[in-house]
Amino acid sequence: MLSIQHISKHFGTVHALNDVSFDVPDGQILGLIGQNGAGKSTTFHSILNFITYEGTITWQGHSLSANDFDTIGYLPEERSLMPKLTIEQQVVYLARLKGQPAKETRAHIDEWLQRFAVKGTRKSRIKDLSKGNQQKVQLICTLIHHPKLLILDEPFSGLDPVNADLLKQAVLTARDEGAAIIFSSHDMEHVTALCDQLVMLRKGDVVLHGTLAEVRNQFGKTELYVTTDWTPDRLQALPGVVAVTVRQPRQYLLQLNDPAAGPAIFEALTEGHYIEEFSQQPPTLDEIFRLKVGEDHA
């Protein structure tokens, strides 16, 4: 388990992290979310010992040692490969830095190229690959030594939906093999699909922490999805409804000022008869993100 306890980091007068604490158990995925500058990369750099910090970071109950760093897979936000090397040379080089013998790495390169659908061979030079395929090679470099702790800084950036799905499957496989995984993303869909828990940072502070269900339920079931022949104006007039959004013809999203208004709205819409859709839910993670970020500008 990765355990981060009360870490803080200042850069001059800038408070990059303020008393941040959370755990990432083995076999779980944690999503670290927040605006640019919220402290996500600073958190990663603290874990990797790239910078000094106040507080305690432990891995499997002890401070990270040189041997432990061999078991970490790290994908930085800024991609960096050596363009004159072939794919094989690049992957073997970085795997050797993690303590994996070249012979073992070479034996699996073709399998990984196929797994990520890389358009190129092990003898292709990095500079001759498209940006998307270069990114997939860097992902292979991150994963090929089967890390026990996986740190991914904006891993989905620049990937189309097909390649994003390939990465998701690789991340889930690493989780199933017991890796502790932490990744940042601005795409709440990826966080929702992958994470066992999430941490939201705002200006270096933890403002949300828990499972997706725990976080969403903090905000109450204030969204009501209905399918009805009622007009938007008539729906807007219902007690407790503060906004009406047309999703499709006859399909609406009602924003409620109080979750307790739901039963009365149900009675009004149905009048004892069948209704095709009536689903009262908490806000989505994307909406919660906008809400929490918007507090900075309130």
Q: What is the DSSP string of 18-54?
A: EEEEEEE-TT-EEEEE-STTSSHHHHHHHHTTSS--E
283 has a pLDDT exceeding 80: yes
Per-residue pLDDT band for 80 (boundaries 50, 70, 90) equals: confident
For 181-206, what is the mean pLDDT? Answer: 95
Which residues pair with residue 283 across a beta bridge?
none
Write the CB contacts of 74 (distance below 8 Å, at least 6 apart in sequence): 44, 48, 142, 151, 152, 153
Per-residue pLDDT band for 291 (boundaries 50, 70, 90) equals confident
What the block records as the tokens of 275 is 């209704």
pLDDT above 90: percentage of residues in the chain: 88
Q: What is the pLDDT of residue 157?
A: 83
Pick from 181, 77, 90: nearest CA to 127: 90
Q: How long a stretch of residues is the chain?
A: 298
Query: Which among 94, 142, 136 is positioned nearest to 113, based on CA atoms?
Result: 136
pLDDT tens column, 148-176: 999 999 998 878 899 899 999 999 999 99
Summarize the confidence of residues 47-56 as an average pLDDT. Answer: 96
pLDDT above 80 for 296: no
Q: What is the pLDDT of residues 103-147, one digit of tens each?
A: 999 999 999 999 999 999 999 999 999 988 998 999 999 999 999
What confidence tens digit (pLDDT) does each residue in 200-228 have? 999 999 999 999 999 999 999 999 999 99
**What is the amino acid identity at position 65?**
S
Give the residues across from 227 on adjacent strands: 251, 277
Under 8 Å CB-to-CB from 284, ≥6 apart: which residues? Answer: 188, 192, 216, 223
Per the prediction, the chain carries an average pLDDT of 94
Confidence class of residue 295 from pLDDT cuts 50, 70 and 90? low
Express each pLDDT in 238-267 by its tens digit.
999 999 999 999 999 999 999 999 999 999
Residue with tokens 């797994």: 115
